[in-house]
Amino acid sequence: MLEAIYTRRSVRKYTDEPVSRTIIEQIIDAGRVAPSAKNRQPWKYLVYSGEAKDRLLGIMKKGIEIEEVSPRLPLSVSGLLDAKNTLRIMETAPIVIVVLNTNGKSPFMQLDVDDRFTEMNDLLSIGASIENMLLKAEELNIGTLWIGNTCFAYQELMEYIGSTGELVGAIALGYKAEAPSMRPRKKIEDIIVYFD
């Protein structure tokens, strides 16, 4: 697993080989045991494949198209081209896992300070859970892509899913059809400040 920290990459090309439920459950189980603020375990994972995945991504496509015409995220419209590319990647992945914060509220709602801190801690917990899943997938030679572009179809996706909580993002998952090299990283001396 320690090696997976350094070998994991964001994969954007997948083979057609199906991923078994056994493998999916091993990956999600790694997420289940992640550290969680106040042990709230605020994560829920919805696994889509086949026609169910196609329907979900059809809803995402419609949401992105609506966003192009009538932006709900006006300061982020420059990200729509990337969102369309991400959608194409999701369409080629055998599995898409939707990530929910079961305690969260829509980002379009106002939060008081207490709720904001609770949400921050829950999102940190979910991030830890997702990272565990990505590392487990790497250990199993399964490619993954952590996706945030669901934000451009947030309302449409949540209405389609029919769930309460907060849509955090998604994970595309499948057997790798590429071996990307590591993208540039900041130097360690640029990210640490010591105080003695």
Query: Would you list the domain boundaries of the chain?
Result: 2-176
**Half-sphere exposure (CA, 13 Å, Cβ side) for 153?**
26
Q: Which of 27, 65, 64 is nearest to 47 (CA)?
A: 27
**Predicted local distance difference test score (pLDDT) of residue 2:** 80
d(CA 18, CA 29): 19
The pLDDT score that the predictor gives to residue 118 is 94
The position carrying tokens 């400040």 is 193
Q: Does pLDDT of 1 surpass 70?
A: no
Q: Is 90:146 a contact under the CB 8 Å cutoff?
A: no
26-77 per-position pLDDT tens digit: 999 999 999 999 999 999 999 999 999 999 999 999 999 999 999 999 999 9
pLDDT, position 59: 98
Angle made by CA atoms 91, 128, 142, in degrees to the nearest 5: 40
Q: Specify the pLDDT at position 88.
A: 97
Mean pLDDT, the chain, whole residue set: 96
What pLDDT does 163 receive? 87
- Predicted TM-score (pTM) of this structure: 0.94
Q: Is 85:145 a contact under the CB 8 Å cutoff?
A: no
Q: Distance from CA of residue 63 to its chain's centroid?
A: 17
Q: How confident is the model at residue 164 (pLDDT cuts 50, 70, 90)?
A: confident
CATH topology assigned to domain 2-176: NADH Oxidase (3.40.109)
